[in-house]
Amino acid sequence: MRKTERSDIKEWLEKLSSASKGRYGALWKSVYRQVDVSKRRRVSVNLYSINKYTEDGDNVIVPGKVLSKGALAHKVNITAVSFSEKAMSEIKRSNSKILDLDEMLGMERVKVIR
C-alpha cells in the first residue's frame, strides 16, 4: 500500500522536530519550517542548481522536490521530500546516492538547497 504524500510529510516533520532538539538544531529547525508548508509553496529544485551549489562528496537536503533539468557532474549524497522519476535516474547515473532522511540526520556538513 502506497503512503499518501501528507503522511510522508508528517514522518519528515516528526523526525525533523526531534532532530531540532539535538546537535545542529538550528539547521533542522530551518528545514522543518521549509517542509511544513502547503505543497504549492514547497520548493522545486532542478539538478543544475544542485550541481552549481555543491562540490564532490557534499551532503545535500532539498526541502521539496528534485526535478530533472540539468545534470550532476559530481557525486553527492542527497535527500529530498520527493524526486521525479527522471531526476532519480540522472542522480544514479552520476553515481550519487539518494539517502533517507534518517541517514542524512546523522551526517555533518549538510547543505540545504532551495
pTM of the entire predicted model: 0.89
Q: What is the pLDDT of residues 93-105, one digit of tens each?
A: 999 999 999 999 9
User: CB 73: neighbour CB atoms within 10 A?
Assistant: 12
CB 69 within 8 A of CB 46: yes
Map out the domains of the chain with their CATH numbers.
5-112 (3.100.10.10)
- Tens of pLDDT, residues 9-50: 999 999 999 998 887 789 999 999 999 999 899 999 999 999
